[in-house]
Chain A
């Protein structure tokens, strides 16, 4: 009976989204529905995490067909961890987005929260599914809602960004479909556990590698790895800041999650070729991302480029391909979702105050908004990986695993990237916070400076995420050990296979 909890993270956002549709244009009601939906979904996710921690992998066969034929929902530790982080971010979005002035009130009314719920629904589904074709479907759910969110508002740059985003993601989806076609063609299955069982022997046909490359290209476009990332900086800074912070935090990471799932569980890669390819990609992704960021003077563009360079670290973990490295990568994903969204949240406050996020027009925040400075400082230096903040732990485990496998070049690149990240973060710090404001402040008739009130809802979300970052930084043991367990669970393929295919009359489990 307890297995049915696994449906809740899907069911709750879906039902909430549908209820929200009935209250079209009634913002208050939609907001309450959104908050309820995400809170319940978060509690279901936490429940699942506890359950998976105690009992091992939880599975459910949809429609109660026997295992390889039914679409299986599987929740292992990796899925559960990602679910919890996703839903935490979703909950804090509720408090933040109401005060976001980069989005007009009407657009908030026109289904912002509903699309957001559909997006969460898609992400939760993608994290829970145990079937590669189903994964494709969830990706499409995610994409369609993110298309709607990105174009919400319809300003010129939004439409321009969306054109690129839609086209490239459509091509990526078509390639993902082709990857699934190849995989199905030579195995006759789309169930991840059954595929893993068939392909673990290692003497599979060369078609396996072709399918692997198809997956790499299609999921690589979605997660913005090196030669395929150009759509991201062209589109991510265009929508309203609430939308940017949630898609920047989550969508590319779901792509990386899918890559880890495919390459560790379904098509375990052996041989030098793919590993070297991934290492090269990881290095270039880190470097080009951060170099792009260094050149930018617009805060949201700068942060968008940083997304790419952080993806490089995750791919580096995947390329090293040991439980320690994957554990580090998982920790890095969790840390990155929180930190990156929080940095975008900060840029939202700046936009609310000054109606711009261009660095050269901002200034004086250290004096006027000390708490904002503290929040930015912690998030930015955590992103750069300054010890003892949370980014440091992620990078430490990645570098440690790289040392053990003696991949010194990529470690060198990752450390150098960390330096450049620090440099571009200090650029924001210097321009926005430390120096005086370049223009005259808004004054009223009597000459006193008008101070715009700082929105408490925004500060609540940012403060909470900041506390979470501090917790990850100073008490990382819990999360790191969970991540390591998740990684080890990924490598114990038989456990996964057993959990999915047990009691199935159509599959032999050894």
Chain B
């Protein structure tokens, strides 16, 4: 597991980035979603993973006796997932509006705001 997860994270980053570089709206959304997953998984792996060892302390003990998993990265990922969900929902609605207005799903068509105004 220790070796699989980092590779998977890197793979997800690569796939997410690859999709972000595409011109289609749908691929942009897919890219955003996969990129978010990659980051979440990254925090999970970087926070240190271990099998078993749930972080409960028995009532008598003051400190944890055995080695336990760290719950904080998971709590952080939960927060990040929720935030990511919000932004992804916003992005999907936004791109739908863009599609209705521009009548195209090609990102190359969205270059009007980049033209310098000489007139």
Contact = CB atoms under 8 A, between A and B. Distances in A.
Interface in A144-197: 144, 147, 151, 154, 156-157, 159-164, 166-167, 170-171, 173-175, 177-178, 180-182, 184-185, 188, 190
Residue among A159, A175, A296, A297 having the largest count of chain B Cβ atoms under 10 Å: A159
A509 interface: no
B94 A163 contact: yes
Given A234-B114, A235-B113, A297-B117, A178 B90 contact: no
A184 B119 contact: no
Chain B interface residue bracket vs A: 35 or more
Contacts of B113: 157, 160-161, 164, 234-235, 237-238
Contacts of B95: 163
B52 to A, nearest CB: 20
B68 interface: no
A180 B47 CA distance: 10
B39 A178 contact: yes
- Looking at chain B's contact residues, the main secondary structure is helix
Contacts of A160: 98, 102, 110-113
A298 B43 contact: no
A181 B42 contact: yes
A156 B112 contact: yes
Contacts of A237: 113
B35 A170 contact: yes
Contacts of B35: 170-171, 174
Contact of B83 (A137, A147, A178, A190): A137
B79 A137 contact: yes
A157 B115 CA distance: 11
Nearest to A299: B117
Nearest to B111: A160
Interface in B83-104: 83, 86-87, 90-91, 94-95, 97-98, 101-102
A436 interface: no
B42 A178 contact: yes
Contacts of A163: 94-95, 98, 107, 110
Chain B CB count within 10 A is highest, among A144, A151, A177, A295, for: A177
Contacts of A222: none
Contacts of A190: 72, 76
Nearest to A184: B47
A166 B90 contact: yes
A301 interface: yes
Contacts of B86: 140, 144
A301 B117 contact: yes
B46 to A, nearest CB: 4
Contacts of B70: 188
A439 to B, nearest CB: 13
Contact of B97 (A137, A140, A154, A178): A154
Given A160-B110, A297-B116, A301-B116, A184 B80 contact: no
B20 A358 contact: no
A92 interface: no
Interface of A: 133, 136-137, 140, 143-144, 147, 151, 154, 156-157, 159-164, 166-167, 170-171, 173-175, 177-178, 180-182, 184-185, 188, 190, 233-235, 237-238, 295-298, 301, 358, 360
Interface of B: 20, 28, 32, 35-36, 38-40, 42-48, 70, 72-73, 76, 79-80, 83, 86-87, 90-91, 94-95, 97-98, 101-102, 107, 110-114, 116-119
6 contacts: A160-B102, A160-B111, A160-B113, A162-B94, A181-B44, A358-B119
